[in-house]
Amino acid sequence: MTSYLVRRGWQSLLVLLGVSAVVFLILHLTGDPALLLLPPDATAEDIARFRTAMGFDDPVFVQYIRFLRGALRGDFGESVRHGEPAMSLVLERLPATFELAGAGLLLALCLAIPAGIVSAVKRNTAVDYISTVMALLGQAMPTFWLGIMLILVFSVRLSWLPSSGRGDVEHLVLPAITLGLFTTARIARLTRSGMLEVLAQDYIRTARAKGVSEPPVVWKHALKNASIPIVTIVGIELGTLLGGSVITETIFAWPGVGRLSVQAIFNRDYPVVQAAVFLLASTFVIVNFLVDVAYTYLDPRIRFR
């Protein structure tokens, strides 16, 4: 088990290194980062002076090593617009994004797993059809449209819920539904197919044959065995949620990292963009490493690989 975790930990470090290279390259895509960072009306001398001051004349590899050193200390340079360190701006907004993504994930799990189980147990009944159709619609619905429609109905027409900002639970409802719906649909379909597969296994028939009543068969014997793909998808869906936060936060004026990044891109505030992309990607890598750790408990066979 230790060797498995060491190997996975090593792989995660490699991926983080790759992530840092991509984040570094974002600024070098056009070939001249100085032009990107300076306002369009900068003079040629300004540009030349800035280029020397920032070290943009050095070989790209040297620049990358310098960037990596900074990144390890959380130093991505100063925000062009706010004059503060880019990373501290992003970190300030991180709790809001985690709150939203957490609420979206919680909502998804609370809705999707029961829906998937009921669908599988009551296969080909009206409940199953309704839940399947809902899941199909949920997967096809673009996040931004759903958010706008929810605002139209619940904020504009009914005036039940606020349409923007962060505050009490009321503010969280619409953004969390918007962000969580796609994930809900995905987990519901996966839970259904996973449960159907497990319910057809011999050990379930054995459990029923020896007289175990139906609820423990479903909730204990079947769900535990169907949970591995669900845990996997939760790790992967975190990426969807963090990415989705870009859109959802923009629609609901939610003060998180996603909205900050979109604003930073339009303000050409690239140090902030780099810090945000790096932080969200690293979060994803770390969570997926933790998911792998969780596997070793759910499926002891992995420990001996």
Partner 1 sequence: MSPPGSVAAESVPLAPARPRAEREWVAVLRRLVRRRTALFGLAVVAIVFLTALLAPAVSPFDPFDQDISQRLKEPGWQDAHGRVHPLGTDHLGRDILARIIYGSRIALLVGLSAVLISGLLGMTIGLCAGYFGGRLDDFFMRLADIQLAFPFILLAIAVIGVLGPSLGNIIVVIGVSSWVVYARVVRAEVLSIREREFVQAAVALGSLDGRILLRHVLPNAFTPWLVVATLDMARVIVIESALSFLGLGVQPPTPTWGGMLADGRVYLSTAWWLATFPGLAILITVLGINLFGDGLRDTLDPRLKV
Chain positions contacting partner 1, by CB under 8 A: 11, 14-16, 18-19, 22, 26-27, 29-30, 36, 136-137, 139-145, 148-149, 151-152, 156, 236, 239-240, 242-247, 250-251, 258, 261-262, 265-266, 268, 270, 273, 276-277, 280-282, 284-285
Q: What is the DSSP secondary-structure string of 211-269?
A: T--HHHIIIIIIHHHHHHHHHHHHHHHHHHHHHHHHHHHHHTT--SHHHHHHHHHHTT-
| Least distance CB 152 / partner 1 (angstroms) | 6
Contact 253, 167 (CB under 8 A): no
28 versus 208: smaller Cβ distance to partner 1:
28
Contact 207, 217 (CB under 8 A): yes
**CA–CA distance, 104 with 181 (Å, rounded to integer):** 8
Contact 76, 70 (CB under 8 A): yes
144 versus 208: smaller Cβ distance to partner 1:
144
| Least distance CB 217 / partner 1 (angstroms) | 25
6 versus 149: smaller Cβ distance to partner 1:
149
Q: Where are the alpha helices (DSSP H) in 41-168?
A: 44-54, 60-72, 86-121, 126-140, 143-150
Count of beta carbons in the 10 Å neighbourhood of residue 174: 25
121 versus 284: smaller Cβ distance to partner 1:
284
**CA–CA distance, 80 with 2 (Å, rounded to integer):** 45
Q: Across the chain, which distance is largest between two alpha carbons, in Å? A: 85
| Least distance CB 282 / partner 1 (angstroms) | 8
| Least distance CB 242 / partner 1 (angstroms) | 5
| Least distance CB 102 / partner 1 (angstroms) | 16
| Least distance CB 241 / partner 1 (angstroms) | 9
**CA–CA distance, 270 with 77 (Å, rounded to integer):** 9
Contact 275, 87 (CB under 8 A): yes
| Least distance CB 214 / partner 1 (angstroms) | 28
Q: Which residue has the tokens 């303000």?
A: 267
- Coil, helix or strand at residue 80: coil
86 versus 277: smaller Cβ distance to partner 1:
277
13 versus 110: smaller Cβ distance to partner 1:
13
| Least distance CB 285 / partner 1 (angstroms) | 5
Residue type, 198: V
1 versus 133: smaller Cβ distance to partner 1:
133
Looking at the DSSP assignment, which residues form a beta bridge with residue 78?
Answer: 85
- Coil, helix or strand at residue 78: strand
76 versus 284: smaller Cβ distance to partner 1:
284
